[in-house]
Copies of this chain bind each other. A is one copy, B any other.
Amino acid sequence: QAFRKFLPMFDRVLVERLAAETVSKGGIMLPEKSQGKVLQATVVAVGPGSVNKSGQLQPVGVKVGEKVLLPEYGGTKVTLDDKDYFLFRDGDILGKYVD
């Protein structure tokens, strides 16, 4: 896939948002507009991390494949082969879902 060929810089993380539920819990088809922005996503690529003031490399806190919770705002859209991904700073990711 496209993101195979994209390496985020420093402490940036490339994620793919999960598909928005198009059917509400009660089974009613949700019109596109009312589907809230999906805040759950999968990590598809990570940068090497950032270098702190003492020159040490601080690796990123998430791994490829992990499910994460995104903040409501921020992030940069990156289109690779017509598919939308999003770049977030490692420090802005709120948490991850562990099984």
Contacts and interface: CB of A to CB of B under 8 A. Distances in A.
Interface in A74-99: 76, 78, 87, 91, 93-99
Interface residues of A, number: 34
Contact of A6 (B51, B54, B69, B72): B69
A26 interface: no
A78 B87 contact: no
- Specify how many copies of this chain sit in the oligomer: 7
B95 A8 contact: yes
Interface of A: 5-10, 12, 14, 45, 47-48, 51-56, 58, 61-62, 69, 71-72, 76, 78, 87, 91, 93-99
Given A10-B61, A51-B58, A76-B71, A95 B99 contact: no
